[in-house]
Chains A and B, each alone.
Chain A
Amino acid sequence: EVQLVESGGGLVQPGGSLRLSCAASGFTFSSYSMNWVRQAPGKGLEWVSCISSSRSTIYYADSVKGRFTISRDNAKNSLYLQMNSLRAEDTAVYYCARAYQLLSWFDPWGQGTLVTVSS
């Protein structure tokens, strides 16, 4: 069964840092692009970042560029999101999602991990 499991969310103060992880199983992780998508409480979906299967290509939303860093470890079947200089507006459920290629639909999605930025 294809599965994505996020972890690392929690409560952090404004200006703080957090590292999210996404553990993949049930498929050849190194063959797929991966994405992070977030959803603020009661709001819609916002794409955050994507990384190609070989790590050669990375894109970010303008709202996180310069503060967030996406990475992956294909040997560990894991995707990461390092989040620095966090702001209240970064509060959201963060989902990892698999993509067939860099510009593609997302399937499946993980269950999400909640990040709350508050003092």
Chain B
Amino acid sequence: DIQMTQSPSSLSASVGDRVTITCRASQGISNSLAWYQQKPGKAPKLLLYAASRLESGVPSRLSGSGSETDYTLTISSLQPEDFATYYCQQYYSTPITFGQGTRLEIK
């Protein structure tokens, strides 16, 4: 199984800050990586897929990059609606696996 390790597990930041979340795969996944945002009591929402492709309707202040085993999600200027939990997901092989999540909190 491919293990996905996210860091940090939690992060405190202010509106306007630039933040980066990292996801490391235990083996190369050839950009088969998605990022999701989840707010309390809600279903996850797709943000990016194929490591760097922004889902339609997602603000351009979010971006993704990386290759092989190391990937990042960057939010260039945090907005109030960005405070949530973020998950990475590899879909390179089954079992499909998720990172443990990064909780982004308001400082």
**Range for the number of chain A residues in contact with chain B:** 20 to 34
CA distance in complex: A103, B98 (Å)? 13
**Cβ contact within 8 Å between B49 and A105:** yes
Cβ-Cβ contact count across A and B, 8 Å cutoff? 58
**Cβ contact within 8 Å between B43 and A109:** yes
Min CB distance A103 to B, Å, is: 5
Point out the residues of chain A lying under 8 angstroms from B91, CB to CB.
99, 103-105
A82 CB–B CB distance under 8 Å: no
Point out the residues of chain A lying under 8 angstroms from B43, CB to CB.
95, 108-112
B59 CB–A CB distance under 8 Å: no
Point out the residues of chain A lying under 8 angstroms from B46, CB to CB.
105-108
If A105-B49, A107-B55 touch, whether A47 touches B44 (CB-CB below 8 Å) is: no
Set A35, A47, A103, A112: member contacting B32, Cβ < 8 A: A103
Min CB distance A42 to B, Å, is: 11
The 3 A-B pairs of least Cβ separation, nearest first, read: A105-B34, A109-B43, A105-B49
Name 17 A/B residue pairs within 8 A (Cβ), A-sorted. Answer: A35-B96, A44-B100, A44-B101, A45-B44, A45-B101, A47-B95, A47-B96, A47-B97, A50-B96, A59-B94, A62-B95, A103-B93, A106-B34, A106-B46, A108-B45, A109-B45, A111-B42
Please list the residues of chain B having a beta carbon within 8 angstroms of any beta carbon in chain A.
Answer: 32, 34, 36, 38, 42-46, 49-50, 55, 87, 89, 91-101
